[in-house]
Amino acid sequence: MDYFKMKGDFVKGSTSVKGALDLLKKDRFDIVITDLKLEESSGIELIKIVKSSKKNIEIIVVTGMSSIDIAIEAVRAGAFQYLMKPFKLEELELFIEKAYEKLGLEKEVSSLREKLIDKYNFNNIIAVSSVMESIFQKIKQIAPTDASVLITGESGVGKELIARAIHYNSLRRDGPLMPINCSALPDTLLESELFGFKKGAFTDASADKKGKFEMAEGGTLFLDEIGELSLFTQVKLLRFLETKEIMPIGGTHVIKVDTRLVFATNTDLKTAIEQKKFREDFYYRIKVVNLHIPPLRERREDIFPLANHFMIEYCRKYGKALMNFSSEAIEKLENYNWLGNVRELKNIIENIVIFNSSESITCSHLPENIKTGNAAPDITRSTLPHSVELKEIEKMAIIANLIEYKKNHTKVAKVLGISRPTLLKKIKLYEINEEEL
Ligand SMILES: Nc1ncnc2c1ncn2[C@@H]1O[C@H](COP(=O)(O)OP(=O)(O)O)[C@@H](O)[C@H]1O
Ligand SMILES: [Mg+2]
């Protein structure tokens, strides 16, 4: 408080809801910053009263990590933003600036803010659910080590973002980060991209060319979609992991390189091993440190915080005033099954921000399939194995819908077009353990 007074802002404080309301009656305020634990009653009460007064006031909530659910409730009640304790003063300042922006009040843009936006962009991993929170803790622990890391998960869950976070939170952060998509190039090209070649190694090699390994010297090489690697390249990578040396194509001696490897894949490497497309020794070598990012539908607590985060990002990008979400819209977003994961959510929010000119995001702004909740069951062509017994497909469909409809048998039976007793029979037949879903 003293800090803001020092900056010349008009600031008053109170420890109770009643005290705050008295202050609000006496003077005109633009912004209310409140904890959720107050004397007598909760901060949520205060938010509701302030919002119902129709005054042009924005509310920022500061709260402890343990009360994230309540923080989200606060945003639903009309709070503008929440901030987790402990926070830095600059973070609060940034939110205050954003609140001013929303109020349409001019406030000079400080260079501090520019700096923060950058900082925010890189530490910008939203991790509210307990699984993501623990992944986040793991990232913090493994980033500063030089261990190679395998990141697994469906497309769009945030694998690349996490790979970047690992690099930028490591001691190599000032070194280069070299991403390479292993599925984008035919095998021979990929090999020369990775390891480089010597002049004369083949007809077109008119000069030496450095590979990504060398270019990533002192930094990190991010190998994406490694499920597509040829067995031969896997051997070469395995050799590098053992020796820290590479041999350029057409070279006569090995080169030592100081590069950290981060791998990612959305394919199931275990199955690839069974199909002899992936080497078991390579797999066991790289899976020592494995971060598995679950699909968004298995961590629904992240949906709203992510949506809110993207809303802010795009409003800033497109120069729009910040918007809030209606509680129905939040519910629809939370219930959708997001086969495209965070990427799909992000694209949808971008679209809404571009086309929406009102201050709230409501159900009417959502795409039809999200609005109707008619999410396709979690079986798509890409996840469905090619040769599989019909009863296996039936079992998968039942499991997918039990998850989708939160084990509501009546609904699942209806969606699958069978009677409820038939559904129950099949659950038993296929030995589906609903408690595990
Ligand atoms: N937890 C998260 N917090 C913020 N943004 C995220 C998060 N997870 C994913 N994203 C964003 O979603 C998009 C897709 O993520 P990406 O890392 O490309 O996924 P993947 O590599 O798994 O396909 C990116 O724009 C990324 O920044
Ligand atoms: Mg990716």
pLDDT digits (tens, 9 = 90+) for 287-301: 989 999 999 999 999
pLDDT band at 397 (very low <50, low <70, confident <90, very high): confident
pLDDT at 226: 96
pLDDT at 175: 87
Distance 162 CA to ligand 1 centre (A): 8
- Please state the rounded mean pLDDT for residues 165-189: 88
- The percent of residues in the chain predicted with pLDDT above 90, rounded, is 43
**What residues are paired with 60 via a beta bridge?**
33, 81
Distance 224 CA to ligand 2 centre (A): 7
- Architecture of the domain spanning 390-436: Orthogonal Bundle (1.10)
Distance 199 CA to ligand 2 centre (A): 33
Nearest-atom index, ligand 1, CA of 302 = 1
Report which of 206, 204, 177, 182 is spatially closest to residue 193, judged by C-alpha positions. Answer: 182
Half-sphere exposure of 35 (CA within 13 A, CB side): 14
> How far is Cα 420 from Cα 413, in angstroms, rounded to an integer?
5
Task: Please state which CATH class domain 130-292 belongs to.
Answer: alpha beta
What angle, 0 to 180 degrees and rounded to 10, lies between the N-to-C axes of helices 409-416 and 390-404? 130
CATH 3.40.50.2300 fits 2-111, yes or no: yes
Q: Is 87 or 112 the better-scoring residue by pLDDT?
A: 87
Q: Is 72 or 177 the better-scoring residue by pLDDT?
A: 177
From 166, 306, 313, 342, give the residue whose CB has the most ligand 1 atoms within 8 Å, as the site to mutate: 342
Query: Tokens 């010349």 identify what position?
Result: 8
Q: For the segment 98-116, what is each residue's pLDDT rounded down to a tens digit?
A: 887 777 654 434 344 444 3
pLDDT at 148: 96
CA-proximal residue: ligand 1, atom 27 (nearest)? 161
Q: Is the pLDDT of residue 149 over 70?
A: yes
CA-proximal residue: ligand 1, atom 5 (nearest)? 125
Distance 157 CA to ligand 2 centre (A): 8
pLDDT at 45: 87
> How far is Cα 393 from Cα 402, in angstroms, rounded to an integer?
14
Q: Is the pLDDT of residue 267 over 80?
A: yes
Using DSSP, state whether 252 is helix, strand or coil: coil
343 — phi, psi (to 5°)?
-60, -40
On average, the pLDDT of the chain sits at 85
- Please state the rounded mean pLDDT for residues 126-151: 91
Report which of 425, 319, 333 is spatially closest to residue 375, judged by C-alpha positions. Answer: 333
CA-proximal residue: ligand 1, atom 23 (nearest)? 156
Q: What is the DSSP string of 72-84?
A: HHHHHTT-SEEEE
pLDDT at 89: 79
Distance 345 CA to ligand 1 centre (A): 10
- Taking the C-alpha atoms of 141, 145, 150 and 156 in order, what is their torsion angle to the nearest 10 degrees? 60
Report which of 264, 259, 189 is spatially closest to residue 223, judged by C-alpha positions. Answer: 264
Distance spanning both ends of the chain, measured CA to CA: 48
pLDDT band at 67 (very low <50, low <70, confident <90, very high): low
- The percent of residues in the chain predicted with pLDDT above 70, rounded, is 89
The top-scoring range by mean pLDDT among 144-158, 190-204, 408-422 is 144-158
Q: For the segment 375-392, what is each residue's pLDDT rounded down to a tens digit?
A: 544 444 444 444 556 777
Structure tokens given for 248? 């350029």
Report which of 186, 207, 196, 189 is spatially closest to residue 251, judged by C-alpha positions. Answer: 196
> How far is Cα 211 from Cα 190, in angstroms, rounded to an integer?
10
CA-proximal residue: ligand 1, atom 9 (nearest)? 158
Q: For the segment 323-353, what is each residue's pLDDT rounded down to a tens digit?
A: 999 999 999 999 999 999 999 999 999 999 9
Secondary structure element (H or E) that encloses residue 40, with its range: none
Q: For the segment 9-18, what is each residue's pLDDT rounded down to a tens digit?
A: 778 888 888 8
* Ligand 1, residues at Cβ distance < 6 Å: 124-127, 153, 155-161, 306, 309, 342-343, 346
Domains 130-292 and 390-436 share a fold: no
For the segment(s) 296-372, the CATH number from 3.40.50.2300, 1.10.10.10, 1.10.3720.10, 1.10.8.60 is: 1.10.8.60
Show me where the domains of the chain are located. Answer: 2-111, 130-292, 296-372, 390-436
Q: Of the ligands numbered here, which is closest to the C-alpha atom of 180?
A: 2
